[in-house]
Structure 1
C-alpha cells in the first residue's frame, strides 16, 4: 500500500540523544517520549540490513506497533497488521556521536515507483530530529526571508525532517533513495561519516507482501548548513 510512515515515537526519541527516560522540552500532542538504547563502545551496528546485532537491545526499548497513530486516513489506533506492522528502536552511541535507528517492517505491498509528490509517492520512513529541543520549524517558507540564500540557509537549520526511501532509484522524482532532506540543497548529509543506512527486503517491490529490515545512522545537528559539515554544528 502506498503510504508515508512517520513513527511518532521516534520524533520524540530523536530529540533527546540519551539512554534514559526522557521528555521533550517542547511537547508534541499525541507523541509520547521514550527511551534510547546506548550502544557499548565498539559494538555499534554494521549498516547492512542484518538486524541480528540488535538482539542486544532489551525488548522494552522497542517502539511497538500499537503505539502507531495513523493520521493520513484518520484511522488513529485502528491498525490492521495484515496491511502494515513494524517494530522500531531508537539508539545512540556516545563513542561515535551518532543516532542509530532500526525498523523491521511488514507491508502488504512495498511501493517503489519513483513518481508522485511526497517522498516520490513511495513507501518511506519519515524522521524528524530536533537536537537542541527548541521546537524550531524544519523548513523555511518563501515569505520568511527576503532572499533565496538566507531562505536556503534556514532549511533544516535547527531541526531536520528527512524521508528515507528504498531501494535506491536514480531516475526517481525527488526522492532517489536513502535520505532526502526536506527542501534542502545538501548533497553530502547522507554520506558517511555523516549518514548511512542498510536495507534488505524479503519480497519484491510493487508485488505483494514484503518485509523490510532497515538500519539508519545519522548526525543530530544543532545548526545544519547545507553547504557542508565544516560549516555545520553538531
Structure 2
C-alpha cells in the first residue's frame, strides 16, 4: 500500500516525516532467497469457491506460509510479529491447463477493521508477475514520470506487466478488490472469484477464512481482456508472487507485514518472491497412463503427426489408426487413404503394466 493510499488518514506534516523515514528504512531489507511452492490440484479435485473450504484439506501443511515468514517493513516491527495481535496462514494452488492461481487464507485479528468505504481497512495486498518480467509496474514509479504526467502514465502500462490486488478482508458495501492499476476488469468474474466465512462485526476480534482465485496476466491491457495476454501456467515453471497484510486498528494502520521483506514489492516486480508450480503429489500420479495428441500436417493429403504424451516407464507403443493400419513408433506419422471419422487407439506397456487411451472421431479426414 503506497503513501497515497493513506492520505485520508494522515496529516501532511506526518506524511513528510514518513516519506523521509521510508526512504532510509526500506532499502535495508533484502529479498528472501527461499523458493515457495504452489500446490497442484488434480483436475477432479479443483477447489470450489463456496466458503466451505474442505477442498483445501488435501494440501499438505508443508505448503502453508504463515506469519513467521512475514516482516513488517514499514512500521519498524521487523519479524517480531505477535500472533495474538494478528495471525495469518496462506496456501496457494493451481490446476494444470487452467490458468488460475487459487488461494486459501486463515486469519485471526484482535480488531477487525472494515467499515471504511475507501482503503482504510484491513487489506490482503497481493502482487503477481506471471512471466517474471520484473521492474516497476505502478505509474508513480515509472522512470518517465518526470517527462510524462501521471495522468497520462495511468493509461500507459500502469499495472500491465504485473498486477496488484488490494483484497478487502472482509468486504462490506463495496467491491471485493481494488486493483492498483488501469485494469479494474481483472477483478471481475471469470478472472476473479472469492468466498468468505466469518462471524464478527467491525472492531471485534475473530477468525476469518476466505478462498479466491485470480487470473495472472503477462500483459493486462487497459482496453480489456480481448487484447491482454494470460500467463500460461506450466508445471515446474516459476512465477513472481508476494503479498502483504495491512492491519488497521481504528484510525491507525499499525503494521505492514510482507512476504518479500521489502516494501518495494508493492510496485516493483523485481522484489517479489519466487514460487514454483509443483507437479502432482505422488498419490495422484498413475504409475503408467496413456495419453496422446496430434497435429494435422496437411488436410488435402490426409496427413497427421501423432505425439505420445503418456507418463510412466514405457517400453512398448502400439498405435491403431482406425483404418486397418498401425505403428509401433512412439511418435508416428500417418496418412489416410480416404475420408472418414477415425477412432485412434494408443496402447502402452512397461514394467508397471499396460494402459490404453482411445479418442473417438477427434481425427477426421475429407
1:120-152 deviations in whole A, cap 9, x for unaligned? 110010011011102121212384363645541
8 Å CA contact retained: 2:163, 2:181: no
d(CA) in 2 for partners of 1:231, 1:220:
14
Q: Which has the higher strand share?
A: 2
Q: Which 4+ stretches in 1 moved above 4 angstroms?
A: 147-150
Give 3-state SS (helix, strand or coil) of 2:37's partner: coil
Aligned length: 198
Q: Which moved more, 1:216-225 or 1:191-200?
A: 191-200
**How does the TM-score come out when normalised to structure 1?**
0.77
8 Å CA contact retained: 2:164, 2:181: no
Pairwise CA distance, 1:52: 1.5
1:103-126 deviations in whole A, cap 9, x for unaligned? 10000011012256xxx1100100
Pairwise CA distance, 1:31: 6.0
Q: Which blocks of at least 5 consecutive residues in structure 2 are unaligned?
A: 6-29, 231-366
RMSD in angstroms over aligned alpha carbons? 2.2
Pairwise CA distance, 1:69: 1.0
1:189 is aligned to 2:191: no
Give 3-state SS (helix, strand or coil) of 1:53's partner: helix
Q: Which blocks of at least 5 consecutive residues in structure 1 are unaligned?
A: 5-27, 171-175
Give 3-state SS (helix, strand or coil) of 2:155's partner: helix
Pairwise CA distance, 1:214: 1.1
8 Å CA contact retained: 2:160, 2:181: no
What's the counterpart of residue 198 of structure 2?
A: 201
- Return the index of the structure with the highest Cα Rg: 2
Q: 2:178 aligns with which of 177, 180, 183?
A: 180
d(CA) in 1 for partners of 2:78, 2:70:
8
8 Å CA contact retained: 1:130, 1:136: no
1:154 is aligned to 2:157: yes
Distance 1:80 1:31, change over 3 A: farther
What's the counterpart of residue 224 of structure 2?
A: 228
1:212 is aligned to 2:208: yes
d(CA) in 2 for partners of 1:183, 1:193:
18
What's the counterpart of residue 53 of structure 2?
A: 51
Q: 1:67 aligns with which of 66, 69, 78?
A: 69
What's the counterpart of residue 128 of structure 2?
A: 129
8 Å CA contact retained: 1:198, 1:215: yes
